[in-house]
Amino acid sequence: MTRPDVMMLCSQRPDAMQQLEERYTLHRYDLAEDKDAFVAEFGPRCRAIATNGHAPVTRPIVEAMPDLRLVSCSSAGFDGFDVAAMAEHGVTLTNTSQALCDDVADTAIMLLLAARRGLVPAEAYVRSGDWARKGAFPLQRSLKGGKLGIVGMGTIGQAIAERAKAMGQQVTYWNRRPKDLHWDYQSDLIQLARDSDALVVIVAGGESTRSLIDTKVMEALGPTGLLINVARGSVVDEEALIACLSDGRLGSAALDVYASEPDADPRLTSLPNVTLYPHHASGTVETRDAMAQLLVDNLGAFFAGQPLLSPVDLTGYLPTVQA
C-alpha cells in the first residue's frame, strides 16, 4: 500500500517521529536548504502538513500545495500561521490545547503562588544568608479569599478556575462571549481588572488579541495587582507593562511568555517585581509526548476518513463578502 505524503515543517518527539516514519512518506521541509524549491517540488503531492507553532504555515506554502486539506499542529498556539489563507483554501487546522491543559493550568497557579508569596526573592534571602543577618522575610499576601480574574475561559481557563476555587479564590472571567458556567462573567475587561487582585491571561494569540491587555487594563488592576500571562507575549502591550511596573501603576507581574522570545527585553527582566518563567508551561516530558501524539492521531484520523480529534474553527478567518 502506498503511504500518504506528508509535508514536515519541523521534527516531533521521538515516539511520534517513529510512528510518522512508519506510516507516511515524510517530506522534510525543515531539512531542505532551498525551502521554496522543496515545497514547489513536493508540495503538490501532500494533502497534510505536520508542524508546531514555531514553524508557521505561510500563504506561499498553502498556495504551493493545491491538495492541502489538513495542518496538524503539535502546539496549542498558531498565531504565526496564515489562517486566513488556510480558511480561503479549505484547509482544516488541528492543535493540541487539550493535551497541554493541565500543565499550563498548573503553571498559572505556580506563578500566582510564586509571585504572591515572593518565592524567588525569598529563596535568595535564604541562600544569601540574609535570613540570619536581617531576620524574618517580609510578610506576603494570602491567596484565600482573593479575587482572581481570568481573561479567556476556554479549556485551560476553566482548568485554572477549578484550581483557583480549590485554593479559596473568588473567580470571575472575561471572554468574547459568556459561557454556561458556574463562574461569574464580566463583559467589561477593565471592570474585571478593577475588581481583581490578580488577572490571569489565557487567550489565543494573533491580531485579534494583540495588546488586549493595555495600559488601561493594567492601571485598573492597580498598584497592588498582579498580572499573570500564560497566553502569548503579543496579548500584553509589553511597553506599557514595563512602564506600569516601573512607576507603580501595576504592582507585579508573573510571566511565562514575552514579546521577543527567547531574547526577553532586559528592561522587563531586570525589574524586581516580575516573576519569570521561560515559556515552559507545557514543558514536561509527559505533556510534550502527548502533544506530539495528538498530532499523529489527528493525521491518522484524517487519512482514515474519521472525525478529527481537535479541530480548530477557522470560519472567523474567512474574508467578509460585501453585498
From 116, 163, 232, 288, active-site residue = 232
Q: Measured between alpha carbons, how far is residue 83 from residues 35, 90, 165, 177 in Å?
A: 20, 10, 35, 22
Residue 27 designated active-site:
no
From 261, 267, 286, 288, active-site residue = 261
- The alpha carbons of the chain give a radius of gyration, in whole angstroms, of 22
Report the distance separating Cα 74 and Cα 94, nearest Å.
8
Residue 238 designated active-site:
no
Order of strands across the sheet that contains 198-201: 184-185, 170-174, 147-151, 198-201, 226-229, 252-255, 274-276
Report which of 201, 202, 204 is spatially closest to residue 78, judged by C-alpha positions: 204
Helices (H) and strands (E) in the chain, counts: 13, 13
From 279, 280, 286, 288, active-site residue = 279
Q: Measured between alpha carbons, how far is residue 196 from residues 65, 120, 262 in Å?
A: 48, 23, 30
Residue 261 designated active-site:
yes
Catalytic residues: 232, 261, 279
